[in-house]
Structure 1
Amino acid sequence: MSELRLASDFPTATAEAWEKLVLGVLRKSGAATDDSTPAEAVELLTTTGYDGVALAPLHTAAGSPPPPSVPLGRTANGWDIRQRHADPDAAATSEAARADLENGVASLWLVLGAGGVPVDRLTTALDGVLLDLAGVTLDAGAATADAAEAFLAAGGGSGNLGFDPFAGAGDLPGAAAFARRVADRPGLRAMVVDALRYHDAGASDAEELACSLATGVAYLRGLTDAGLSVAQALAQLEFRYAATADQFGTIAKLRAARRLWARVAQACGEPSATQTQHVVTSAAMMAARDPWVNMLRTTLACFAAGVGGADAVTVLPFDHRLGLPDGFARRIARNTQSLLIDEASVSRVADPAGGSWYVESRTLGLARAAWAWFTEIEGAGGMAAALSSGLVAERIAATWDARAENLAHRRDPLTGVSEFPNPHEKLPSRREAPQRTVGDLPVHHYGEAFERLRDRADAAPERPTVYLATLGPPAAHNARVGFATNLFAAGGVAVVAGPVDGFAASGAAVACVCGSDRSYAEEASGAALALASGGARQVWLAGRPGEYDGVTGYLYSGCDAVAVLEEVLS
């Protein structure tokens, strides 16, 4: 039998050869000119995220090796599956919690006080929960001290008391007092650094990391000033981060978070200390429209959280934006994790992304960007001062504005919301969830602009309708009819298609011309003027802007879809 040579007869692949091939493709597409160099071609394909971190199109072993990864704190058995409960009905919460614990959940995240179970009903909510086996993380806002006292009185043995002073959950002296009480109980922590509030306000990954880092350092100072040793203070903190459907971004964020906190611990004289991470699938990415797509988003986010090394993961139910989840939604949320742990074996490898040049590079770039913002916060007097002065809010607001711009132009598409919406959907009915305010930062959702437009269209006495005036045979206009239909549906606007002379009978107030570039050159102006004279208040054209008489505006890939829809609905 002859020797199997595989690729040995092929020439060795090099980065330089790849760059030349890329340049050739970009020249053919018109993105690069004949004078462009291979390096310029690579630059054209390099993207920059909200943190200013450049993401190259190709990552190789060339250059310095990546720094060693920070070890994970969890075991090979998997992460802690933690379910969130916020039903004010304490008896219903107890029943749901027991069902979760009996079916794979390891710990509970219990919302108390305003927006959750009344603190004086905590014992009822925990009825039947074996507190020596199941950990409980409290989330009680201003009532944190009372909730912590009630939890300890009920025999709570593990979890987190939930003090987070900068988020309005108790105060630092009170947190320090409880930390001293539970310092000798290794399974119980007193404080959480909840970075979700920064993420929900629109922060980038590096901003979320930097704010958590600055908050953690401030809490360390407060705990050690109250008499705890550095080691005891470090052991009292748990960090809560958001996981999004950007799986590589999430993986890099969690790895960068451990690297950053290890640097803080080392500076404090405790180089062996590790960061405990509770990762929650992003509420900001969850959609109120076509909520079933949220299952895909949360699965991606959960996978990324597991690969990124989370110690505990909470998957928000797919109906999170609609109200209190039902039993089916909670079951899907917990089973998503069980399948990834038990069947996909995601947790069996200590650091699955370690050694990936792309992930290592992104981790390092993110860590550097976060450290720069962290030092700026420290230079401004620390996290408390940066929050009170508005420094943090202003920085995050600028990032949100940039993100909202990309969402409006559909450069950051949202399936079921800005892309491929279902105009005939029937949303599942859920009990209203109590509203809860955490701190003074705003709460955003990525699809909020489109969702407001959909709500506005749904509230109209009759469904707003646009007439798609077609030019030429179906082969010439079908593509743009589909594009326009999808865009208008994102704002709850229905469409009716037909020839130009059918507009008057349609009853629509707005028209949109759909055809090919060739038909536009010959017929667009005449069609637009005929539609306007026939009573159309606005006449749009599906295509790139041009010199056409009678056209109000243009629909094209990359246009401001939110602005278009607002104008149409007006």
Structure 2
Amino acid sequence: MNSAPASDLPFMDAFPAPAQEAWRAAVEKVLKGADFEKKLVGRTADGIRVEPLYEAAAPALRPLRGEPGRWHVAARLDHPEPREAQKLALADLEGGADSLILSFAGARAARGHGLVADDVAALDASLDGAMLDLIRLRIDPAPQGRVNALLLAALVEKRGLAPDGVAVDFGLDPIGLLASTGTFAASWPEIGRRLAATIRALRARGFTGPFIAADARPYHEAGASEAQELGAVLATAIAYLRALQAEGFSLEEARDAISFVLVADTDEFLTIAKFRAARLLWQRVQEACGLSPKPMVLHAETAWRSLTGRDPWVNLLRGTIATFSAGVGGADSLVVQPFTAALGLPDAFARRIARNTQLVLLEEANLWRVADPAAGAGSFEALTLALCEKGWGALQGLEGEAGNGLPGILSALASGAIQSSLAGQHALRSKAVATRREPITGTSEFPNIKEASVSVLDVAAPARRKPAQPLRKASEQDQGKLIGELAAGAPRDAALSAPEDGLHAEPLPSRRLAEPFEVLRDQADAAAQRPVVFVATLGPIADFTARAGFARNLFEAGGLSAPSGDGFAKNGGTDVAALVAAYTASGARLACLCGSDAAYAAEGAAAARALSTAGATVWLAGRPGELEAELNKAGVTSFISAGGDAIEALTRAHAIAFV
């Protein structure tokens, strides 16, 4: 009998297995005395070490998706005009999407737009032609979320569909709304009663849920790290578990009513690890509750905070990385932000590209065919476990904020603890963006001040309206009866309840990382004539190219034109008279010296003095070292170099260029 091969890949046995020590010795030779930790070891926003090399890990059994196979391709429906929304919805479904996300007016995710449905007929028109029993539906959390849920249930009833045959995630998330808007419709106990009443009414009709969303997007958009995002979303889910249990739901029923929304960002390693960690942490929460764990229902959305309004085509790359990461990380469904979303309501082309980003990875890359592609990879296993530890710590910290009858997440929002923590994290990331340690391609690096505009839909934001009839107290409303009334044609107002005094909190801001640069670009673009920075090059072209390129890249990131040309070389040095003449002809107020260190030493002071005499404010690209005092005396007022605060430098440059 033949013996079994030594391994599944016997040809690999011909090569010796490299040892970690041998690799480290080779690295030390290349580093030539440089600090290994500083050069090759990274740190995440949560302080987790990111090693340059990991050993293979033994894959452990971990919770996976509850529904194996392809993730669901979702598209957001957020056009305020029903007929236009309907056209976009059908195009999405015919183009490969199998899920629609209904973003009603007021939803944070609608970004000032959103579906307008004053009655079930308007909602029906928006979804005309969409076979609701063949697709999946999800509602984005929004003010009047309970009414939106009842309207959708009424539409299902109006069309004569079996509710248990329609897959709907109703997206009720009052805690997320408090985080986003700063207001609560009522006290927390009353909110719990309303949630329970709505869920019971929907279940009585035959809907199976999920009904509640634990949504991480408000925290992510305010600057949350991966662990902060995990802690907030788990603390939210635990608050809902307790609220429903207090209203008579079993823990199993409460658990099954909850779905999760996480953000897929542009760091593929951390995003994959975060999604894997979320499933592990939710399993641990269930076990702590004495439940037999079930897989979490996990929806993913690509990151709003990473989108740029400048060179938006780069958003296609960001969306692809995020989509890949969410798919590998185990999302059940995913919506990709269209690449023009930061500029306005995306048109059909941008929506198609967003769909196709997913479809290419599903159909051509076949990412869905492996349940957990990261299993056994040392880096992903280490990052997953580290995020579990950090995320659990963040959850415990929030739970420790509980008091005055409020769960930890609500108490932390009401006291401002979360806002303060996220603001601190955002400040750290903003500094990294400003100093370009976190570069943003097309915005802070490689900007294109001549970029062509892209199209978005020209749609006015829906007007806010007041209820047309007196509102009843929530306790006076029968949720099941309201569904029938709405299906029969009653207006939205019939399901609204009179406001009650509830919690208040400082709303979490929604920020994109590129915004500080975009503000400067907008100011420069709005000028009658784009301001110019004169790049005063010293010596031959080979000597000044690197620093001239650095200066041009910096100034154009703020919308300032900074052409350099072939320079003013003469006899191995610089024709200072020609340089000054060119500066005078340029009309610029700011001149930036660019050359080699040798050129700065030989003629930097003379060039600065001549430019200053001609009326220029003179800067210099590079670190001056021992020449600083001499250059300052000659007229150099500022030095720009890699690692400096680009936003601060550009703000000062604007103040000079726009005088």
Give the counterpart of 2:435 among 409, 416, 425: 409
Q: Give distance in 2, aligned partners of 1:9 and 1:145.
A: 65
Q: Which amino acid counterpart does residue 381 of structure 2 have in structure 1?
A: E
Structure 2 matches for 1:96-135, cutoff 5 A?
A: 96-114=88-106, 115-120=113-118, 121-135=122-136
Q: Distance in 1 between matches of 2:37 and 2:509?
A: 38
**1:176 and 2:165 aligned:** no
Structure 1 distance, partners of 2:370, 2:96, is 21
* Larger Rg belongs to: 2
For residues 545 and 216 of structure 1, the distance between their equivalents in structure 2, rounded to whole angstroms, comes to 55
Residue aligning to 2:646:
561
Query: Which whole-Å CA distance do the structure 2 matches of 1:419 and 1:436 have between them?
Result: 39
Q: Which amino acid aligns with 1:489?
A: E
Deviates more, 1:209-218 or 1:221-230: 221-230
Shift of 1:31: 2.2
1:194-219 Cα distance to aligned partner (Å, 9 max, x none): 10110011111111111001001001
1:20 matches 2:21: no
Give, in whole Å, the separation in 2 of the partners of 1:277 and 1:426: 37
Residues 412 and 433 (structure 1), Cα distance of their counterparts in 2 relative to 1, 3 Å cut: farther
Partner of 1:139: 140
Of 268, 271, 279 in structure 2, the residue corresponding to residue 250 of structure 1 is 271
Structure 2 residue 79 is matched with structure 1 residue 87: yes
Name the structure 2 match of 1:530: 610
Question: How far does the alpha carbon of each residue in 1:274-308 deviate from its partner, in whole angstroms, 9 at most, with x for none?
Answer: 11111001011011111111111101110111000
Q: Which residue of 1 aligns with 2:562?
A: 495
Structure-1 separation of matches of 2:290 and 2:641: 57
| 8 Å CA contact retained: 2:169, 2:210 | yes
| Mapped pair 1:462 → 2:462 | no
Q: Equivalents in 2 of 1:307, 1:95: separation in Å?
A: 32
Q: 2:549 aligns with which of 450, 464, 482?
A: 482
SS at the partner of 1:360?
A: helix
Matches of 2:522 and 2:177 in 1, distance apart?
Answer: 32
Does the Cα contact within 8 Å between 1:322 and 1:432 map onto a contact in 2?
A: no
Contact 1:119 1:146 in 2 (8 A): no
Question: Aligned AA for 1:533?
Answer: T
Question: Given the superposition, is the C-alpha separation of residues 6 and 521 from structure 1 closer, same or farther in structure 2, using an over 3 Å criterion?
Answer: farther
State the match for 1:521 in structure 2.
Answer: 601
Percent of aligned pairs with the same residue?
A: 42
> In the alignment, which residue of structure 2 is the partner of 1:508?
588
Q: What SS class does the counterpart of residue 71 from structure 1 fall into?
A: coil
1:542 correspondence with 2:621 = yes
Residue 73 (structure 1) aligned with residue 66 (structure 2): yes
Structure 1 pair 12/340, CA: closer, same or farther in 2 (3 Å)? closer
Structure 2 contact 449–559 (Cα < 8 Å) conserved: yes
Deviates more, 1:443-452 or 1:156-165: 156-165
Q: Deviations over 1:361-409 (max 9, x none)?
A: 0111111111111101101101110110011111110000000000001
Contact 1:453 1:491 survives alignment (8 Å): yes
Q: TM-score, normalised by structure 2?
A: 0.81
Deviation at 1:552, TM superposition (A): 1.8
> How far apart are residue 564 of structure 1 and its match?
0.8
Structure-1 separation of matches of 2:127 and 2:284: 38
Residues in 1 aligned to 2:642 and 2:463: alpha-carbon distance in whole angstroms: 38
Within 2, Cα distance between the matches of 1:111 and 1:5? 54
Equivalent AA in structure 1 for residue 80 of structure 2: P
In structure 2, the residue matched to 1:380 is 401
Instruction: Render the CA deviation track for 1:142-164: whole Å, top value 9, x for unaligned.
Output: 21121111111111632112210
Deviation at 1:245, TM superposition (A): 1.5
Provide the rounded CA distance (Å) in 2 between the counterparts of 1:296 and 1:203: 22
Select which of 42, 54, 59 maps to 1:59.
Answer: 54
Q: Secondary structure at the match of 1:320?
A: coil
Distance 1:107 1:475, change over 3 A: same
Show the 5 A alignment for 1:394-473: 394-430=420-456, 431-432=458-459, 434=461, 440-473=507-540
Kindly tell me: are residues 191 and 490 of structure 1, through their superposed partners in 2, closer, same or farther at Cα, counting changes over 3 Å?
same
Q: In structure 1, what is the equivalent of residue 476 of structure 2?
A: none
For 2:509 and 2:364, locate their aligned partners in 1 and report how far apart those are by CA, in whole Å.
39
Question: Which ranges of structure 1 fall in alignment gaps of 5 or more residues?
Answer: 33-40
Q: Displacement of 1:426 after TM fit?
A: 2.1
2:575 corresponding residue in structure 1: none
Question: Distance between the aligned counterparts of 1:490 and 1:295, measured in 2?
Answer: 20
CA contact (8 A) 1:243 1:281 kept: yes
Cα drift, residue 544 of structure 1: 2.1
CA distance in 1: counterparts of 2:207 and 2:47, whole angstroms: 40
Q: Which residue of 2 aligns with 1:227?
A: 248
Unaligned 5+ runs, structure 2: 1-8, 107-112, 157-162, 179-184, 186-190, 403-407, 465-504, 569-578
Q: CA deviation at 1:46?
A: 1.4
1:448 & 1:183 partners in 2: Cα distance?
44
Summarize deviations over 1:202-238 as a string: whole Å, max 9, x none: 1111111110010010011111111111111111111
Q: Secondary structure of the equivalent of 1:116?
A: coil
Per-residue deviation, 1:69: 2.3
Shift in alpha-carbon separation, 1:515–1:569, aligned structure 2, 3 A: same
Q: Secondary structure at the match of 1:142?
A: coil
Aligned partner letter, 2:138:
T
| CA offset digits 1:245-291 (Å, max 9, x no partner) | 21111100100110111100111122331111110010110111111
Any idea what the Cα deviations from partners look like across 1:81-100, whole Å, max 9, x if unmatched? Answer: 11011111111111111121
Q: Map 1:328-343; keep pairs closer than 5 Å.
A: 328-343=349-364
d(CA) in 1 for partners of 2:586 and 2:91?
Answer: 54
- C-alpha distance after superposition, 1:307-354 (max 9, x if no partner): 000000001111111111111111111111111111110000000011
Aligned pair in 2 of structure 1 residues 522, 432: CA closer, same or farther (>3 Å)? farther
Question: What amino acid is the match of 1:227?
Answer: G
Instruction: Count the aligned residue pairs.
Output: 553
State the TM-score, normalizing by the size of structure 1.
0.93
Q: Within 5 Å, which residues of 2 pair with 1:330-369?
A: 330-369=351-390
Q: Does the 8 A contact of 1:242 with 1:282 survive in 2?
A: yes
**1:31 aligns to what?**
34
Q: Which has the larger displacement, 46-55 or 252-261?
A: 46-55
Q: 3-state DSSP class of the match of 2:213? A: strand
Runs of 4+ aligned structure 1 residues displaced above 6 Å come to 4-10, 435-439
User: Partner letter of residue 118 of structure 1?
Assistant: V
- Once the two structures are superposed, residues 508-544 of structure 1 have per-residue CA deviations (whole angstroms, 9 ceiling, x without a partner) of 00000011111112111221122111101x2111112
Residue 188 of structure 1 aligns to a residue in which SS?
coil
Residues in 2 aligned to 1:436 and 1:527: alpha-carbon distance in whole angstroms: 59
| Structure 1, 241-250 or 498-507: larger mean CA deviation | 498-507
Task: Please say which of residues 455-464 and 195-204 is displaced more in the overlay.
Answer: 455-464
Instruction: Tell me how far apart the structure 1 counterparts of residues 81 and 31 of structure 2 sit (CA, whole Å).
Output: 60
